[in-house]
Amino acid sequence: MLEHFPAFRHIAVVAHPQLPAAIEEAEEITEYLKTQHLRASWSLLNDDEMRRGIATRRFDLVIALGGDGTMLRAGHLCAPHGIPILGINMGKFGFLTELRREQWRDCLYRLLQGDYWVEKRMMLYAEHWHGEHRYGAWDVLNEVVVTRGQLIRPVHLSAHVDGQLLTTYVADALIVATPTGSTAYSLAAGGPILPPELRNIVLVPVAPHLSVDRAIVLAEGSRVSIKISDSSHAVFSVDGQSPLDLFDADRVDVRMGEHLTLFIRFQDPGYFYRNLTSHMNRNPSTGVSR
């Protein structure tokens, strides 16, 4: 059964701060929602007041205008509070967004009539440790990447799954991805495509040297621990954010998160495969359309 939410009453419309077209569209969407007797306000994605409104559940829906990066940031903000997201693509690929710019008026009418469904996407929970000291923790929608730093040499990483040594990688990087992230960096590195409703983690080495060179899909509920060894100079990044330094004996622990990212969908549930082939046959970043 497709899940619905109670009628939306207070909607936040957020725009990528560096896309003037997204800002213009956010203003227009907000005015439209007000004509439908709803409380609506727009802001830039990095606006502190908007973030406080999400954290206090002042909003019950977020409409995000931008590309996939905007959707990732909106997911980080909304998932811990159970607030669904409707994505309008103002970027290039739009793997995570639901609507094109010209579609929003018709689809918002459908939304207000209850003609939609909610897709639940698994998230990861990642922690950075050195011994018994935890440096930080993150909710992750796409992937955690442990990779080499400025030195042009592979890193040495030992990967444990559920407390047991899986293997030692000598590689440029190791990707720990969700099903959502399986169509991002993981896919570019040769990893498998996982349907978005799965609850599995996939490990994908990048340019492995004399070590396991195949992606591994882990059982649902598995935990991964990646330890830095051999004095490797390494960094790690969460969902493409700025990299953080890792040092010898540091480790990054990753497991299924307790939060879900909730996306509003209007397409039928089989949309994923249909959109996937469309995106892979037409990569807008290359300037080539086939």
Find the CATH number of the domain harbouring 51.
3.40.50.10330
What is the structure's pLDDT at 231? Answer: 64
In the structure, what pLDDT confidence band is assigned to residue 287 with cuts at 50, 70 and 90?
A: low
In the structure, what pLDDT confidence band is assigned to residue 276 with cuts at 50, 70 and 90?
A: confident
Same domain, 88 and 195: no
What is the structure's pLDDT at 35? Answer: 94
Name the H helices within 154-221: 185-188
On whether residue 4 sits in a domain, the answer given is no
- Burial string for 167-179 (b: 16+ CB within 10 Å, else e) reads eebbbbbbbbbbb
What is the structure's pLDDT at 233? Answer: 83
Is 68 in the active site? yes
Same domain, 146 and 95: no
Same domain, 194 and 81: no
* Active-site residue (options: 68, 239, 250, 253): 68
Residue 144 backbone class (left: φ over 0; alpha: ψ -120 to 50; beta: rest): beta
Number of domains comprising the chain: 2
Which CATH number covers residue 147?
A: 2.60.200.30
Same domain, 205 and 162: yes
Average pLDDT over every residue of 222-237: 89
Task: Tell me the range of 141-145, 225-229, 246-250 where mean pLDDT is highest.
Answer: 141-145
Same domain, 89 and 172: no
- Burial string for 192-204 (b: 16+ CB within 10 Å, else e) reads bebebebebbbbb
* Count of CB atoms situated within 10 Å of the CB of 27: 13
**Cα R_g (the chain), whole angstroms:** 20
The residue segments making up the domain with residue 107 are 10-116+266-286
Q: Give the mean pLDDT of the chain.
A: 91
For residue 157, the one-letter residue type is L
Same domain, 132 and 228: yes
What is the structure's pLDDT at 1? Answer: 46
On whether residue 2 sits in a domain, the answer given is no
> pLDDT (tens digit, 9 = 90+) per residue, 235-265?
999 999 999 999 888 999 999 999 999 999 9
On whether residue 91 sits in a domain, the answer given is yes
> pLDDT (tens digit, 9 = 90+) per residue, 60-83?
999 999 999 999 999 999 999 999
Same domain, 68 and 145: no
Q: 50 CB contacts (<8 Å, ≥6 apart)?
A: 12, 14, 41, 43, 44
In the structure, what pLDDT confidence band is assigned to residue 225 with cuts at 50, 70 and 90?
A: very high
Same domain, 146 and 230: yes
Say if residue 151's pLDDT is above 80: no
Q: What is the C-alpha separation between 231 and 155, in angstroms, rounded?
A: 9
Same domain, 110 and 128: no
Q: What is the C-alpha separation between 45 and 41, in angstroms, rounded?
A: 12
